[in-house]
Amino acid sequence: MTINFRDKSCLVLIDIQKSYKDVYQFEEFRKNIMKLLRKARKEKMLICFIYEIDNHNSHWIPFWEELSGPRVLDRGLPFTFSKPRENEFFFIKNGYDSFFETGLNKFLKSKNIETLYMCGLLTGVCVLNSVFSAFNNGYRVHLLENCCSDRTKKRHDSIFKNYSNYLFIKDEI
């Protein structure tokens, strides 16, 4: 393990849910998330899970369907390996951004959090949107490369190539 968690930090896991099981090297991703959660829990780190549920509050869907065709709505069903335990927190989002109308930022500020360790699915979509918001809200952001995945390796890799040391510190478990 190469990661060393800082004080006043939180682990944010984004969209590790059944809607996104068809990603590059899913089994390796799953093992890394389990290792990450073991370490964070052992160190009694604050942990927040974010799940996407598409519904009447998902105002972006009509345009998305214009771009991509009919959408199967996400129901926010987590994998068994990525469910919150007692004293861990979860937030529901209705779009790509973990901070938009979720209460996450207010919660993190109330806990005096300065650094976020972020990971999840899909690297180039919901994870990246959430990293932008975390950065814009003034957090130090570490994005855990081997705890993220996307539909293609190319899109995943391009996020780390284009934004490392610009919006976030690249890290891994």
**Whole-prediction pTM:** 0.96
What is the reported pLDDT for 138? 98
- pLDDT above 70 for 1: no
Cα–Cα distance measured from residue 101 to residue 91, given in angstroms and rounded to the nearest whole number? 10
Is the separation of the CB atoms in 16 and 126 below 8 Å?
Answer: no
Cα–Cα distance measured from residue 63 to residue 36, given in angstroms and rounded to the nearest whole number? 35
What is the reported pLDDT for 65? 95
- 3-state secondary structure at position 56: coil
- pLDDT above 90 for 12: yes
Return the bridge partners of 144, or none.
Answer: 171
pLDDT tens column, 36-52: 999 999 999 999 999 99
Is the separation of the CB atoms in 94 and 130 below 8 Å?
Answer: no
First-to-last alpha carbon distance for the chain, in angstroms, is 5
Quickly state the pLDDT bin for 70 (edges 50, 70, 90). Answer: very high
What is the reported pLDDT for 109? 98
Mean of per-residue pLDDT scores for the chain: 96
What is the reported pLDDT for 121? 98
The distance from CA 32 to its chain's CA centroid, rounded to whole angstroms, is: 14
pLDDT tens column, 14-37: 999 999 999 999 999 999 999 999
The distance from CA 160 to its chain's CA centroid, rounded to whole angstroms, is: 14
Quickly state the pLDDT bin for 2 (edges 50, 70, 90). Answer: confident
Two tokens, residue 138: 């003034």
Residue partners of 87: CB distance under 8 A and separation at least 6? none
pLDDT tens column, 103-160: 999 999 999 999 999 999 999 999 999 999 999 999 999 999 999 999 999 999 999 9
Cα–Cα distance measured from residue 163 to residue 115, given in angstroms and rounded to the nearest whole number? 17
Domains and CATH numbers, the chain: 9-171 (3.40.50.850)
